[in-house]
Structure 1
Amino acid sequence: MLKLPSRRNAAHKILIAFSALLLSTQAMADTAPTKVRYEEVVRSVLYLPMYVALNQGYFKDVGLDVSMKTSQGTDKGMTALLSGSADIVLIGPEASIYVANSESPVKPKVFAGLTATDGFLLLARKPVKNFSWDALKGHKVMSFRPGSNPDVFLEAALRKNGLNPKSDVQLISNVSPAARAGAWMAGQADYAIFLEPEASNLEKGGNGQVVASIGKEVGQIDFTSFTATDDYLKKNPKVVQDWTNAILRAQKYVQTAAPADLAKHISSYFPGVSEPELVATIERYRQYNIWKKDPVVRPEAMESLQDMLVASGLLEQNKRVKYQQFVVTNFATEAK
């Protein structure tokens, strides 16, 4: 006579199977990549290490699934962060200083640096053999939104070379980032600042000549950095640490990799630019030491930035923000 399994045995087997299923599901959840909503301020070769990290899978290696959006402006990037539509943004650290002095209950913190200085290049409309900053006196210069880092760094470069940004030149700062190249080609302004590869493309098309590097004039002061809200940093320390580790890995690679290899890694992010053109822009940026060697944002650099903000009339001397109020160091230090 066939012996059927008891109800107790059948129930036990079902329980074991169900438990195994739960454990399997939990294991899959534990190993599933963590989604991170990321926004860059603009699209530029200036942010080369970030594109390398994405292309080479450095974020995937540490379990992060990164989606990327271009904000078209630090102000828009900060708005995305404060509104909760982005987790991590790449913007100028000056934005965190402004918010620290504001009534906003949400306080952003810089946790890792990407660029060591300003990547904007100064273009002259007409060919110049021996450029002198004095040539800008009395002329129109296309800048960026007042209070933005491109505008602040340009003013610092002007002051360093004996020019008063308020009276010696006319800064045009009301052209949106997306419209600047078109406005320049239409004849607006005598000089302008552009990032790569836009600067090289304009130069190649006969629409100006690169005559100076703003970053070289100003020196090593962090220009763009990774920023998140204080709340996000507290709730997601592992994500932020993994992010910073991936960035350091990319920074190290960028320091020694051949420009041709780097151009291949980032070409998909610049569909309208050929690899030889990307190589040329990478070589140009490398000579100016644009990219940081590690993600640490140092106190002296932020003090210099606030000096520039004060000089530009954007920050009152008595409202300087303490370094610890807008910069978190533990993630970058741990990554090193």
Structure 2
Amino acid sequence: MPGLSLRLLIALLPALSATTASAVETPTKVRYEEVVRSVLYMPMYVALNQGYFKEAGLDVNLKTSQGTDKGMAALLSGSADIVLIGPEASVYVANSESPVKPKVFAGLTATDGFLLLSREPIKEFDWNMLKGKSIMSFRPGSNPDVFLENALRKHNLNPKADVKMISNIGAAARAGAWMSGQADYAIFLEPEASNLEKSGQGQVVASIGREIGQVDFTSFTATDAYLKKNPKVAQAWTNAILKAQTYVQNAPPATLAEHISAYFPGISEAELVTTINRYRQYDLWKKTPVVEEAAMEKLQDMLIASGLLEKDKRVKYELIVDATFANEAK
């Protein structure tokens, strides 16, 4: 009976519409790895906590790599879709024989977030105090190491001769090594730096990022193949990051601490406020996800100065950065 069939179809329409809407609204899963856990990456945690990625149609699975080298390995092996790592890794891979090439597509931090700690209290720090001393740095070739070496050179110190760089301690073991008495000075991110200071294990005496200036330190990176296949995902990701970056600029530290506290178990919101205030004074968070060509040129200058990149191996900006998504971000 045609009338019955029509009535049945009309009755089923709401259910069919709901099913269709559900299929359309199913978020895209993204396997994401961050280099380490730090307040330096606060805009990312705000975006997660405030649902910016969910609003953009993304379901983000978060993992911590414990090092740019491990993050890049995850990207190249296909076990991660997007990673937050130092852009120096993209320069290295661009010059390698790897058929898989990574591309930076959005920036998060404007410069180095590591803070220099002295084991002994110092009233007025002078970089010449480092001469003849040991410094716990990071993995050789990593951005933390490169930025530290260039800060030393700025103050006429030779990283190879004037100081002893201790760079063979894993990321997760560095705080323990420092507390056990290794090195005279060390670089740490927040909240580790403030926690060590609070426990009487050192004093923050300088910001590496303030010494170097604005050079992108950590950025969101994917393979060129992934970006070509998933441009909508990359654009949605970058839009969410811009929204978080804009929010972070003026939000009260107490509110930001509340947003990110779930990512730092065991650390009070009051302690997080302290670290947020410290980082804010150094202007470490980017205001937009755009990674400028001048910043990548300066980074490669630093890699050359550290003996990690040959002058004739400098990589063109467009081979390591896809600026499309950051420029289109709304």
Structure 1 position 87 matched with structure 2 position 81? yes
Q: TM-score, normalised by structure 2?
A: 0.96
Asked if 1:174 is matched to 2:168, the reply is yes
2:124 paired with 1:145: no
SS in 2 for 1:162: coil
Cα deviation code 1:77-130 (max 9, x no counterpart) = 001111111111000000000000011111000000000000000000000011
1:267 aligns with 2:261: yes
Match for 1:278 among 246, 253, 272?
272
The equivalent position to 2:158 in structure 1, one of 144, 157, 164, is 164
SS in 2 for 1:36: strand
Give, in whole Å, the separation in 1 of the partners of 2:57 and 2:36: 25
Mapping of residues 1-336 of structure 1, within 5 Å: 24-336=18-330
The CA distance in 1 between the partners of 2:139 and 2:81, in whole Å, is: 24
Shift of 1:25: 3.7
Identity of aligned residues (%): 75
Provide the secondary structure at the position in 2 that maps to 1:119. Answer: coil
1:26-47 Cα offsets, whole Å, 9 max, x none, are 4322111111111000000000
User: Structure 2: which 5+ runs fail to align?
Assistant: none
Distance 1:22 1:87 in 2: 33
**Structure 1: where are the runs of 5+ without partners?**
none
Aligned-pair CA distance for 1:11: 8.4
Aligned mates of 1:166, 1:87 — CA distance in 2: 37
1:181 & 1:26 partners in 2: Cα distance? 52
SS at match of 1:248: helix
SS state of the match for residue 125, structure 2?
coil
Q: Deviations over 1:283-304 (max 9, x none)?
A: 0000000000000000000000
Following TM superposition, by how much is the alpha carbon of 1:17 offset from its aligned partner in structure 2, in angstroms? 8.5
RMSD of aligned alpha carbons: 1.7
Distance 2:14 2:260 in 1: 43
CA distance in 1 between partners of 2:4 and 2:142 (Å): 69
Letter in 1 for 2:146: V
Deviations 1:171-230 (A, max 9, x none): 000000000000000000000000000000000000000000000000000000000010
Paired residues, number: 330
Q: Deviations over 1:128-162 (max 9, x none)?
A: 01101111111110001100000000001000011
SS in 2 for 1:154: helix
